[in-house]
Chain A
Amino acid sequence: MKLKVDFLSRGLLTLILAIAISSFTFAQRTITGTVTDAANGEPLISATVVVLGTSTGTITDFDGNYSLEVPADATQIEFSYTGYATSVLPLGADNVLNATLSAGALLDEIVVTGYGTQKAKEVTSAITSVKAEDFNQGNVQSPSQLLQGKVAGLNIARSGGNPNQAFQIRLRGVGTAGANASPLIVIDGVPGGTLQSVDPNDIASMDVLKDGSAAAIYGTRGAAGVIIITTKKGQAGTSKVDYNGFVSFDNRSNTVDVLSADEYRAFPGSSDQGSATDWFEELTRTGISHVHNLSLSGGSKSTTYRVSANYRDIQGVAIRTGFDRLNARMNLTQKALNDKLTLTANVSTTTENKDLGFDYAFRQATIYNPTSPVRDANRPEYDGYAQQILFDYYNPVAIMEQNINQEQVRTLTYNLRGSYELVDGLNFGLFFSEQKTSESDFTYFDKNDLWQGANRNGLAQLGDQEFSDQLFESTLTYDVDLDAGKTLKLLAGYSYQEFVNEGVFVTGGDFLTDAFTFNNISAAQDFANGLGSVGSYKNSNKLIAFFGRANLNIDDTYYVQGSIRREGSSKFGRDEQWGIFPGLSAGVVLTKLADIPAFDNLKLRAGYGVTGNPPVDSYLSQQRFGPTGNFFFNGAFTSSFGPISNANPNLRWERKTDISVGLDFSLMDYRLNGSVDFFDNTTSDLLLDFPVPSPPNLFGSTQLNIGEIKSTGLELAVDFAAVQNSGFTWNTGISWTSYLQNKLVSLSDSDAGFDFGGSRDISNLGAPGQNNTPLIRIEEGADIGQIWGLVYEGISGDGLWQFADTNGDGMPGENNDRAVIGSGLPTGQLGWNNSFTFGNFDANFFLRGTFGHDLVNTFRAFYEAPNQIGSYNILSSSDPALTDSPKFSSFHVESGNFLRLDNASIGYTLDLPDGSSFNKVRLYVTANNLFTITDYQGVDPEARLSDGNAGQFGPLSPGIDRRDTYFAVRSFSIGVNLGF
């Protein structure tokens, strides 16, 4: 498999280079003209004029005039101006081409809605469309980063700068407890895509379906929202080669503040090892990364194509971390049979090699004795690394350098779409797609690694997993003009998608030599004595759906959309497999009905939708048996079989209903455009691995449908073309989200006899010494994300913690004195973008902030107690007066409010001489995370949206900053955009 993917990637790359080299020189001619406002004939200053489908272009001067050299074979010129409808005019023999543009451009922008597109003006639900030119810039490695902060209601967060860690994405707050909380990703029409398979450079637009009336067409997977990614396509005209590349330099921007060697030595009771080491310095480096994207696109009237190759070589700031990724993509469209038949093929492959390192080393760097040397030649048994024998305490540099933790991910996606126009307006479409993701994990712990390897005399772990799915869809669309000004669009479809997941794992230790690392697992002597372990699994599931949608447009004044999806999943009990998911929305353009002063456009919309969420695992409705251990029978062990979980034959869809109301507005001749949205989401029948009494149940929990979550919020998005001069332009855009309420209404079902009992405390703080210390309370009728613990009141004269007696029983600091001491979910989120052009310069800066969330600073909860100074380093914030053990309380809960300059960049576009083989050369520098304003004392104040230690309740336990957080990173990039 590996060979095949690599072969395909490299083949595509070779093809691109070959075509690129062969297509450089063109004859040219010069076109001139004037661009004016259609309403009053006044010249439009700084309007953009480009040869369609190329980057050859210019802008108009103070009088609206332009002059543009175009290739001899250019056929169409595109004129655009902020706030105005874009116009494409054919280029004839005449060398003069004037254009008139009409205001209201944004209304005609194409919005991708799933199984089709709409013009912005027709949209009646809450959809935010972000085009490539508005994406975040700089050191971007994942498509998620392109959108971070750009879409009101969409929270995208990753704590720390681990290049291999995925972003957590939540739309409109927490809407599920135990099912999938991340939006559905749809890539070029394929639902359930992985973001890894798309390179950020290849994305043309990302459309976020935020409410149920829009997402209902995706039925059972729409509850967490939908992000539709559309990749760049070729356009008819001259072939075009683009190269984008940058080099970036990453440094750690923040770590927790610990005692230096001198401070440590001065602390009473410390254990001086005689050296001075800054463990953060030892564990980090300047990460130098480079990224290259080369694409070739073009086509004729009947064929268009775009092929691209992307290479990324990323170094993390932590030593031994990073990845390289090679991605290739080909999009091909062919028209035939008098343009009645359209065939589209997309192929994409990715091979990614990751050095994951060990996040555990960050915790060790925090507590490792700063007077210990890194190396100690007298310890050959540890490969010459300094080590001490203490609990849970290992030289962090040794952890990273002695051991290997790698992962290879390969994705292959391909799809083929055929669409045939049966009669005018009636189209029949067929779509087939297959996606495969293979993940291979390789870990080796050295024989002399005190942490893991020495225990097992060398330890190798291998894992190989494949996730694949096949999708088949057929659709029928019919567009009809009913009457003058009244149009109706109809869609009907059928979808069949089957998923198969499988994997193999092998672990074995006791090697004679480290020479093989993980490459020769049979050399592990563990297999001879039974201590090696192997495992494998395979599961599958199916989703089948019938869907339909109708869109009615009456005189561009009233818009109505209705959709319905009837979908079934094999994951449910036989009688509960099918669900119906309707969506209904309508909009009215008030400015068409009455003359509203100051408003160019004012549209009111409202929608209602039902969406679903399936459980993560298959087979939960069935009583399954598997190996559960071994049974000593007749003098030997025999495998014992027993149930794997409690079965729930009544398992059904998690069901979300939402109401969304919005207002779109345009002012100042469409220079100021914006929208306000209110949402009210209710999720019921939550899928949860719910505690049930045992007896009579076999296990203490069953996957149930139970309870209800409610979230409401307000979103505001405004874009303003503040200055539009020929020499200087300034566009600014703000997105703001207020999460008004996110409440766990209930987790009980009295009819079925399941009573949650009001509240439960989850998310254990953990070892050493703070097990049985839950951090989060989930409580019926209360907000989600309550941080729960004792209330700190100070430190007593003899150095013991003092906690409040909140229940007034005269016994302070008992379990029943715990109270709500914080809230893990953000209440507000801000994105503020500013872009400028000044002559050939362009500049952009983007500020992003998240507000209202608290964080449990677990570094402080563990490492501020001076009584451990003999063993561990402690934080600079430690109080020398404390003699007590570490005990979590409100003292360790901090506000996570922050405002960050996420990215800032300056670019310069070169004036190219006549006859240059380039048509665009732009150089730029970008800084990411230049500063973060926050009072938070941990590494990164970013909201933690779920906790891995909470099991099924993960999404209900936000706000915990665990000790393995990768260092926060600041990065500077230098890049170039070239067009040929």
Chain B
Amino acid sequence: MKKFVLIKMMVLTMCLAIVNQSCTDLDEELFSEVTADNFFQTDEEFISALGAAYTTLYGMYNTPGVIGAQEISSRHMVVPTRGQDWFDGGVWQRLHLQEWNAEDAAPNAAWGTLFGGVTTCNRLIFQFEQLNNPSTTPFLSELRGLRAIYYYWLLDMFGNVPIVTAFDVDASSITQSSRAEVYQFVESELTDALQNVTGAKDGSTYGRVNKDVINTALTKLYLNAEVYTGTAQWAKAAAAAQAVIGSGNYSLSGTYAENFKTDNSGSSEMIFAIPYDKVFAGGFVVVAQTLHYASQATYDLTFQPWNGWSTVEDFYNSYEEGDIRQAANHITGPQFSSGGVRLTDDGAEPFDIDGPPLTFTPEINELGPNACRQCGARVGKYEFALGATPNLDNDFPLFRYSDVVLMRAEALWRQNPADAEALDWVNQIRARAGLAPATEITAESLLDERGHELFMEGHARTDEIRFGVFTNAGFDKAEQEACKELFPLPQSEIDANANFTQNPCYN
């Protein structure tokens, strides 16, 4: 069993006299890892290799991550500094104030996650092409489609990013592309993938790229084309959305809440999910990010939450009377343990509005440094199971059907403000939210509808930019320059690539 044996040593005693092979043999022996030489051989191994391209998605909800950058920079969310908590060098305040810089972890972490996905896709495409095995060939278009989706987010957040499609390239050969070029690239890759990926929608495509996923990505791309390129593509957006709707694979679910419950994988609206799991696929940690320390007892959590992410008061108050999504999306009011005992905040400040009993108030006294600890409505949209770990079991809806129908409505409305189909879609969404039908669509009403329906799903920043309100003044926040609509490239990338140019606003 042991590699070391005395006999081996005896052989080596000869070495001083005769320099033979074993005396200078420095080959490495691997035990708990593998190299490409003894991997990528069976179908099972190909599948597990493909998986690496998707596991990157588990990082989307990181603290900070892609979703956080989309939501906290918008008028939906804020992370106040409560005494000593959540100051973190000011990154959370700056994310809300839109005063971030090229060294801030938010949004730099998003770049790392998204390009991690791109590079993994490139590696797998390279390796599968080299294998040239019939089992892996179908993976190639799936990977190209997934890579294009990672690039869609890069296009949206950073704009002028390098387009890298090969794996074995030299760092010095990488050049930056303009946002318009990236748009062209994403469009052409998605269009190509659409021809080749599976049109099926069943258990085998859950959490993976199929035609519906590609069409949803195309809808988002076209809907924001004016922002990305200066040229609107409303008709194309409407058509791509119609392709998803027309597939017949999805329908609006009976209740809003069932899309976000712990076991939501059966939701009829789920187009592209991150199939989070407390055991196999952790990373969906909104329960930790938002709840108060003492809320551990409300849900019998296996950890102490961090008392951070909260709803901006104005957004909480923007729901119409009777909108069931207000109570579904946010947690407010007195808090109790799972056994019904009123919870207290042992560290309540003297200036707390209603003293030590734990009560979440929509009002937040200030962004920092002394925001009160119980201030702010918390995120309640995703069901917190009793006994949950920080890693929720709920699947996260990256692309959801109600987003597609609202995008279809918007694309039609943009072309014709009186479009009847557009109003019908909006009213279907409103009806499910317990609201009376609207008689017309305005920019403000449509943005609010999207905000209330898609809160904390990672679309808020993109939507606000498209509606031209992103950089407006807000809670404790001054109006910002329009160039803040793009995040800066990480300083480390600027340092490592002499030919990169930083986005405007950040030089």
Contact = CB atoms under 8 A, between A and B. Distances in A.
Interface of A: 269, 271, 388-391, 430, 432, 434, 455-456, 468, 470, 472, 474, 476, 492-494, 496, 498, 500, 502, 529-531, 536-542, 544, 568-571, 577, 618-619, 622-626, 628-635, 637-644, 691-700, 753-758, 760-761, 767-773, 815, 862, 865, 867-868, 870-872, 883-887
B132 interface: no
B262 interface: no
B83 A632 contact: no
Contacts of B34: 624-626, 641
A696 B170 contact: yes
Interface string B202-234: 011011100000000000000000000000000
Nearest to A630: B280
Given A391-B306, A772-B105, A642 B31 contact: no
Given A700-B112, A886-B87, A632 B275 contact: yes
B84 interface: yes
Interface string B17-45: 00000011111111111111001000011
Given A618-B28, A629-B281, A696-B167, A870 B206 contact: no
Contacts of A541: 28
Given A389-B297, A531-B389, A625-B49, 15 more contacts: A470-B9, A500-B3, A537-B31, A544-B23, A570-B28, A577-B26, A625-B36, A625-B39, A629-B281, A630-B281, A632-B275, A639-B51, A697-B171, A770-B88, A884-B369
B332 interface: no
13 contacts: A472-B12, A494-B15, A498-B4, A623-B36, A630-B281, A633-B47, A634-B204, A637-B277, A640-B51, A753-B172, A755-B498, A761-B103, A872-B347
A530 B279 contact: yes
B497 interface: yes
Contact of A696 (B48, B103, B174, B350): B174
B302 interface: yes
Given A472-B12, A631-B48, A885 B31 contact: no
A644 B33 contact: yes
A64 B495 CA distance: 76
A868 B84 contact: yes
A862 B84 contact: yes
B151 to A, nearest CB: 11
B307 interface: yes
A529 B164 CA distance: 42
Contacts of B87: 769-770, 885-887
B171 A693 contact: yes
B178 interface: no
Contacts of A536: 32
A871 B105 contact: no
The 4 closest A-B pairs by CB, nearest first: A631-B51, A640-B51, A757-B495, A642-B52
A726 to B, nearest CB: 55
Contacts of A772: 88-91, 104-105
A493 to B, nearest CB: 8
B26 A570 contact: yes
A872 B44 CA distance: 54
Contacts of A623: 35-36
Contact of B32 (A432, A537, A887): A537
Contacts of B115: 694-695
Contacts of B36: 623, 625
A390 B347 contact: yes
Nearest to B205: A634
Contacts of A531: 278-279, 389
A885 B368 contact: yes
B24 A632 contact: no
B350 A540 contact: no
B83 A885 contact: yes
Given A619-B30, A644-B33, A696 B89 contact: no
Nearest to A570: B26
B470 to A, nearest CB: 23
Contacts of B116: 694, 698-699
A864 to B, nearest CB: 10
Contacts of B350: 269, 870
A772 to B, nearest CB: 3
B58 A629 contact: yes
A544 B170 CA distance: 34
B162 interface: yes
Interface residues of B, number: 105
B349 A870 contact: yes
A815 B103 contact: yes
B262 to A, nearest CB: 14
Given A626-B34, A755-B498, A389 B294 contact: yes
B425 interface: no
Contacts of A470: 4, 9
Given A538-B31, A755-B498, A544 B24 contact: yes
Given A455-B303, A769-B86, A693 B28 contact: no
Contact of A691 (B81, B166, B294, B496): B496
Nearest to A388: B346
Given A693-B171, A772-B105, A390 B293 contact: yes
Contacts of A493: 16
B385 interface: no
Given A390-B293, A631-B55, A693-B496, A867 B13 contact: no
Interface stretch (B117-125, B405-413, B415-423, B440-448): B117-125
Given A568-B24, A640-B51, A455 B83 contact: no
A629 B45 CA distance: 14
B492 interface: yes
Contacts of A456: 302
B84 A632 contact: no
B70 interface: no
Contacts of A502: 31
A622 B58 contact: no
Contact of B84 (A634, A638, A693, A886): A886
Contacts of B12: 472, 496
A345 B495 CA distance: 57
A920 B97 CA distance: 78
Contacts of A619: 28, 30, 33
A870 B47 contact: no
A640 B16 contact: no
Contacts of B55: 628-631, 640, 642
Contacts of B9: 432, 470, 472
Contacts of A692: 171, 496
Contacts of A870: 347-350
Nearest to A577: B26
Contacts of A271: 346-347
Interface core residue of B104, B203, B279 (most chain A CB under 10 Å)? B279
A638 to B, nearest CB: 6
Contacts of B344: 389
A32 to B, nearest CB: 54
A640 B29 contact: no
B81 A769 contact: yes
B231 to A, nearest CB: 28
A390 B15 contact: no
A290 B4 CA distance: 39
B307 A391 contact: yes
A698 B492 CA distance: 16
A476 B171 CA distance: 50
B119 to A, nearest CB: 5
A565 B38 CA distance: 35
A626 B280 CA distance: 16
Interface string B274-286: 0101111100000
Contacts of A871: 83, 346-347
Contacts of B277: 630, 637
Interface core residue of B45, B164, B492 (most chain A CB under 10 Å)? B492
B101 interface: yes
A642 B49 contact: yes
